[in-house]
Chain A
């Protein structure tokens, strides 16, 4: 049986990285439940004889229901942090706790089930299973979670309706028969399949044109509002940043800045993000 994490983990980030007054951040956090806790996480990679430190001790609390964006230049450790939160990678040092469960303590299968139940994924390249129809793609996480196939398909259609693929119906289209925006909407429907409390969106607008990207962003922020889903996205899309409750900037494996939306508006408006100077060099991974 898996034990809950008993250690009184510290999730507070270093006050120095908080933009504006620490009190503002405290006000923001007040009464919020921590859903993901990243504590002193380091991740080292060994590339040939050189040890690369992708994350050099990151501490962060993510609150239930918030819309959090992680940004940073290529190689900053942004993707690594993202993967840590998603349970796709394990830390060399430190702990990642999701819903009070320390991921490192889970077996591979348990991690798989945690991802299945607790986390929805949206990828930059949509990552739909090419051999499956839209309905089957959306139903897949439900089937993996043990749901009956006809129930899963019913729910999948409802979700497709909810993301606007019900009229005209795109249920039985395969990914190669759908446009990029449609595929990404299928992916959003799929990420909602098991009603996960957390959705991870990795550059969800990266492969889309501005208009379609905005549609996707609207849907995500709407989800966050309506369903109380925690959305964690890695992005450098400024539109995306502007709808975020908080923006975390990563640089050189450390948190460089944590900003609240109000501070974003004050300092840079909705056009220029904090990681602006290097966002052009962002790799699409």
Chain B
């Protein structure tokens, strides 16, 4: 058979040259708007799968966000103002108390009902209450205490003098017990107390003598320093006395330390209920111990989310073999297919993260209100929440995109023939 084709025919063909220029030219890409529209279309058409994937992102990011907010809230509560000035490392409880009670206007800040509560509160054998009470007493003059008692109303039949004495008595008993149990402890503790405080302590003991031998012993011990020191406000002294009494119980010490971590909280401590304190302390402990359980949970949530997204995107690839094959036939380059899948899951990530953050805020606010009451709201980390929001969005989008990298590569590397051969 002979026909008109010469060997050189193709080489001189101007159409060939045009084509060569076209396909050898620079990369062409779809406009981003089109890509996003296509990705959104893909999500819309496979709505059920998209929604399920979205929920997994929302839950994971919501959880992450809540954890971040909770730790910020506890941190806010625990560090509401500046840290104690007293040498903390030696006697944290003492340091906290002394610094906390530097505030003198305690009584003026209380509402009537709080004052009433205070007086009533004495009946409750709760260290936190007692501490707060003593802090108040310490900051008041005798006449103020009487006034307070009067303000509390006739319901309270407790004589202020009795109250003070009761407290003192109780602590004297405690100190005594401690002394008896471990007499070696006292000099140690006393060594760590500044001399001026000791002086006042002795003065106070002298001013209100009780028949309890522990006060006498105290006086004896402190007497060594007497005369050298200018006086200290009674407030600190009395708080100190009180604290010394409580130091016997390790857990009480910690309780007080936590409660009095800042002046602010010390001032408000009276109104803070038992629940708050307990929660605050446990939360604070979690915070300080690095909270491995929560970190683990958060990590697991994020991993599950990543696996879920990968799975969903793989399904999406499988469902769309034919579509991908068609697009490749039409001239879609591998890069475009990758872009398409990454944009699709990136959209899921953005929307899921945003919704997750809304969910997280709701959960965090509810939890704060339940755990810490009004203080939870007052110290809710709105500003710190911005950082957490930023991180949550970054985490959500990154996880979504990383989850889609492998499926996107699978899709991009398929041969058009193989992709088209799949029967749907």
The answer to whether the Cβ of A51 comes within 8 Å of any Cβ in the partner chain is: no
A144 contacts B11, C-beta separation under 8 Å: no
Q: Is the CB of A33 within 8 A of B20?
A: no
B28 at the interface (CB under 8 A from A): yes
Q: Compute how far the CA of A86 lies from the CA of B330 in the bound complex, rounded to whole angstroms.
A: 11
Q: Give the complex CA separation of A5 and B17 in angstroms.
A: 12
Contact in complex: B31, A11 (CB < 8 Å): no
Is the beta-carbon distance between B31 and A83 smaller than 8 angstroms?
no
Residues of B within 8 A of A118 (CB): 19, 23
Instruction: Select one of B9, B11, B30, B41 contacting A33, CB under 8 A.
Output: B9
Q: How far is the CB of B303 from chain A (nearest CB, A)?
A: 31
Check if B20 sits within 8 Å of A143, measured CB to CB.
no
Cβ of B23 and Cβ of A2 under 8 Å apart?
Answer: yes
Tell me the bound Cα distance from A86 to B417 in angstroms.
10
Q: For the complex formed, measure the closest distance between the CB of B44 and the CB atoms of chain A, giving whole angstroms.
A: 7
- Quote the shortest CB–CB distance from A133 to chain B (angstroms): 9
List B residues 1-39 near A (Cβ within 8 Å). Answer: 1-5, 7-11, 13, 15-16, 19-20, 22-25, 27-31, 33-34, 38
Residue-wise, chain B 74-88 has the 8 Å CB interface mask toward A (1 for contact) of 000000000000000
Find B323's partner among A115, A130, A149 (CB 8 Å cutoff). Answer: A130
A77 at the interface (CB under 8 A from B): no
Contact yes or no, B22 A144, CB < 8 A: no
* A22 near B1: Cβ-Cβ < 8 Å: yes
Count of chain B residues with a beta carbon within 8 Å of a chain A beta carbon: 52
Cβ–Cβ contact A89 & B23, under 8 A: no
Which residues of chain A come closer than 8 Å to B325, judged between CB atoms?
A: 127
How many angstroms from the CA of A135 to the CA of B316 in the assembled complex?
24
Can you add 6 more A-B contacts, CB < 8 Å, to A28-B3, A143-B31? Answer: A8-B8, A18-B1, A33-B5, A88-B416, A88-B417, A108-B334
Task: Out of A13, A106, A110, A146, name the residue touching B1 (CB < 8 Å).
Answer: A13
Q: Which residues of B contact A5 (CB under 8 A)?
A: 10-11
With contacts defined as CB atoms under 8 Å apart, how many contacts are there between chain A and chain B in the complex? 159
CB within 8 Å of A: which residues of B?
A: 1-5, 7-11, 13, 15-16, 19-20, 22-25, 27-31, 33-34, 38, 41-42, 44-45, 322-323, 325-336, 415-417, 420-421, 423-424
Asked if A114 is at the interface of the complex by the 8 Å CB criterion, the answer is: yes
Tell whether A1 is near chain B: CB-to-CB under 8 Å.
Answer: yes
Q: B19 near A115 (CB under 8 angstroms)?
A: no
Contact between chains at A88 and B420 (CB < 8 Å): yes
Are B334 and A26 touching (Cβ within 8 A)? no
Q: Which residues from chain A contact B332 at a C-beta distance below 8 Å?
A: 112, 144
Assuming the A-B contacts A13-B1, A99-B13, A129-B327, are A4 and B30 also in contact, with contact meaning beta carbons closer than 8 angstroms in the complex? Answer: no
Instruction: Select from chain B the residue with minimum beta-carbon distance to A31.
Output: B4
- Of the residues A4, A18, A116, A130, contact of B330 by C-beta under 8 Å: A116
A67 within 8 A of B: no
Given the known inter-chain contacts A34-B10, A88-B329, A144-B331, please indicate yes or no for A110 contacting B24, CB distance below 8 A. Answer: yes
- Could you give, for residues 158-184 of chain A, a 1 whenever the CB lies within 8 Å of some chain B CB and a 0 otherwise? 000000000000000000000000000
Nearest chain A CB to B21's CB is how many angstroms away?
A: 10
Q: CA A99 – CA B328 in complex, angstroms?
A: 20
> Does A140 lie at the interface of the complex (its beta carbon under 8 Å from any beta carbon of B)?
yes
Find B331's partner among A99, A101, A113 (CB 8 Å cutoff): A113
